[in-house]
Every structure is written in C-alpha cells, then in structure tokens.
Amino acid sequence: MRVHVADHPLVTHKLTVLRDRTTPSPTFRALAEELVTLLAYEATRTVRTQQVEVDTPVSRTTGLALSTPLPLVVPILRAGLGMLEGMVKLIPTAEVGFLGMVRNEETLEPTVYAERLPADLEARQCFVLDPMLATGGSLLAAIDFLFERGARDVTAICLIAAPEGLAAVERATEGRDVTIVLGALDERLNEKGYIVPGLGDAGDRLYGTV
Ligand code: URA
C-alpha cells in the first residue's frame, strides 16, 4: 500500500479551518471541496493516459488523453458526498458510482446497504472518497467490494486518518494495488472512535446533525 500525506501549506491551512469547531457548515462544505481538489491533484498522478496527436493552430504535437475505461469515482455515503464536487472538478469526465456503508449491529462489521456501480469493474481505476479514515472498517469494506467487482487498483482520498485505521487497511490489503492520499495523519483514535485532534463528525459538520 502506498500512503501519501499531502505536504502543502494550502492543504494545512484549509484543514485548520475545517478543524475549527466554530466553522459553520456552508464554509466547511466549500473548504472541503477546495481541499479535495488539491488532494485529487496528487491522487491522480498515476491516472491512466494514452498518447494522442493534436493539431495546434501552429503545428502538430503529441499530448495525453485519459484512457478508457475512464476512472470511476466512488464517494462513500454520506460524508463522502461532500468530497464529490471537488473531485469531479478535476476529472469532469470520470464516471461516478455510489456506495452506502452501514455497520451491522449484530456482527459490528460494516456492510454495503446501497450500491450504484457498474456491474463489471474490470480494468477500472477507482477513486474512493471517504473523509475520515478512523478504524478503517468502512474504507476496507469498500475497497474489498471494488476488488471483488474486478477493479484493478483503488486509490482512497481521505481528509484525515488515524494511524490505527491506516495500519489496519495496510494489513488487510497486502498484495493489492492500493494507494491512500491524505490531507493529514493525526495522533490517534479516542475511545468513541473519533480521530484526535480530527474535526469531529465529518457528516454532521458537512450537513448538520440528522
Ligand atoms: N468519522 C468521523 O466523521 N469523524 C471521526 O473522527 C471518525 C469517524
């Protein structure tokens, strides 16, 4: 597994405002979107492309086009939705699929409760959006789901991760092509499963408490 923690003052600046408990939802949403666009720039460094010829008004040269099948962006509901606009701003032609994850109250395992994805992900490059990598349970379930459908490689973009969750995902994905791009790697998880210092509940901060 490759882990990339974005090292850029604008990323840290935007995260600092997101962390601030007094930042209201509209500002939080706008900043999360901007932050994801910066992280997406890093996460798409290995996006698959092919050489194409292009006629400029002056001459002819070689450039790059995105390869098909086009990348698939998969926000994990609900908080991952707050990252979608920032991602598709950078790759407007990407296809978008949705995964809803919920914890099974008996087994405590995260399970997929809603899914809108192409049936066959053969050879697809998938980008999963999940703002908080806490225990890693839901991200791991999403990664497993995509590989079972035939995805070739999965890149997850997270705003913040806890070391415990990152290690759990690393252990469980050994031997598979997984990349995690982070805005920050925080200190730890607390006893309630929140990332410390973190930013609180990302879904609530984005959309209010429901
Ligand atoms: N999910 C969140 O939204 N925040 C955390 O700190 C952990 C999980």
Burial class (CB within 10 angstroms; exposed 0-12, middle 13-18, buried 19+) of 96: middle
Average pLDDT for the chain? 95
Q: Give the span between the Cα atoms of 137 and 103, in whole angstroms.
A: 9
Whether the ipTM is more than 0.85: the answer is yes
Q: Is the C-beta atom of 201 inside 6 A of ligand 1?
A: yes
What pLDDT shows up at residue 209?
77
What pLDDT shows up at residue 103?
77
Percentage of the chain exceeding pLDDT 70: 100
CB atoms within 10 A of CB 74: 29
What pLDDT shows up at residue 60?
98
Q: Sorting pLDDT into bands at 50, 70 and 90, what band is 102?
A: confident
What atom of ligand 1 comes closest to residue 204's alpha carbon? Answer: 3
Q: Check the annotation: does 157 bind a ligand.
A: no
Q: Is the C-beta atom of 194 inside 6 A of ligand 1?
A: yes
Residues annotated as catalytic (active site), given as ranges: 103, 107, 201, 204
Q: Is the C-beta atom of 159 inside 6 A of ligand 1?
A: no
Q: Sorting pLDDT into bands at 50, 70 and 90, what band is 107?
A: confident
pTM over 0.90: yes
Pick the CATH number of 2-52+60-207 from 3.40.50.1000, 3.40.50.970, 3.40.50.2020, 3.40.640.10: 3.40.50.2020
Lowest mean pLDDT among 18-27, 29-38, 108-117, 149-158: 108-117
For residue range 137-196, list pLDDT tens digits in order: 999 999 999 999 999 899 999 999 999 999 999 999 999 999 999 999 999 999 999 999
Q: Check the annotation: does 198 bind a ligand.
A: no
Q: Give the span between the Cα atoms of 92 and 50, in whole angstroms.
A: 17
Q: Check the annotation: does 1 bind a ligand.
A: no
Domain regions of the chain by residue span: 2-52+60-207
Q: What average pLDDT does the segment 193-209 reach? A: 94
171 Cβ partners below 8 Å, 6+ apart?
none
How far, rounded to the nearest angstrom, does the alpha carbon of residue 171 sit from its chain's CA centroid? 19
Distance 136 CA to ligand 1 centre (A): 11
What pLDDT shows up at residue 119?
87
Q: Sorting pLDDT into bands at 50, 70 and 90, what band is 79?
A: very high
